[in-house]
Amino acid sequence: MTKFYKVQTLKKWWQRVVVVIVVGILKIYWATLRVRLSNNGKQILCTLREKTIFTFWHNNLFAVYALKKLLGNKNVCGLVSPSSDGAWLTEIFQLLGIDTVRGSSRRNGILAISNMIEKLSSEVLIAITPDGPRGPKCKFKIGTAMVAKGAEADVVIVAAKYDHFFTLPTWDRFKVPLPFSRILVEGKTICHEDFRNLPAAELSELLEKQLNELQTLTDGLH
């Protein structure tokens, strides 16, 4: 029997005040960042299907900001853990105009997969860090592949490069771009037609390999 974990939320007034302050600071900080989309990325945006999943490694979570900025008014939904940490991120995302589905590979995973498939059917773009929320680093969990196959969605793998950043001592070596940094965003589309007959486990391995290769390529660009 699948165990259901309670989704944690922020209930105290001071927590919501903190979120508003944090979002205000983030908006000022993000206003200093300069986002540039590669030529391949520009082509992807021009040919974007309604059912699309964006994936990037957890240490490139700032790519969410870049994606939201580049996608304009398109609806974007992120996968967020049902934990107390996820409660903070959910509130921050909502104030930034990003919807959320609560779940992870360890907690409420089946329900999260079902909810994401439903979102994609409603023409909402999905953003997932397939190695989150706790790793292993740069290892593609199978859930993303299951969503892509279940929704018959394309997968866009996303890599980002910051010209100036520092790294946090976390499990994923989280990257934080410095103010006034330039962010280069690169992408590659894996069409549903190309993996329709692949088992989810094999698709997951393929996406992991291609995302690692794309990130290595992007790190070498100028």
pLDDT recorded at residue 105: 67
Angle at 33 between CA 92 and CA 137, to 5 degrees: 65
**Cis omega (within 30 of 0) for bond into 133:** yes
Question: In terms of Cα–Cα distance, which of 133, 136, 154, 137 is closest to 203?
Answer: 154
What stretch of H or E contains 47?
none
- Residue written as tokens 């939904």? 77
What's the number of CA atoms in the CB half-sphere (13 Å) around residue 186?
A: 18
Q: Domain map of the chain by residue range?
A: 13-219
Phi, psi of 38 (to 5 degrees): -65, 165
Angle at 105 between CA 100 and CA 106, to 5 degrees: 110
What's the number of CA atoms in the CB half-sphere (13 Å) around residue 94?
A: 15
Question: In terms of Cα–Cα distance, which of 102, 103, 209, 114 is closest to 155?
Answer: 209
Edge-to-edge strands, sheet with 99-102: 34-37, 182-190, 154-162, 52-55, 125-128, 76-80, 99-102
pLDDT tens, the chain, 222 aa long: 456 567 788 989 999 999 999 999 999 999 999 999 888 888 888 888 889 999 999 999 888 778 877 888 888 998 888 888 889 999 999 998 889 998 876 767 788 889 999 999 888 999 999 998 888 999 999 999 999 999 999 999 999 999 999 999 999 999 999 999 999 999 999 999 999 999 999 999 999 999 999 999 999 886
Bridge partners, 162 (sequence order): 183
pLDDT recorded at residue 1: 43
| Pairwise CA distance, residues 4 & 156, whole Å | 30
Question: In terms of Cα–Cα distance, which of 80, 91, 81 is closest to 15?
Answer: 91
pLDDT recorded at residue 185: 92
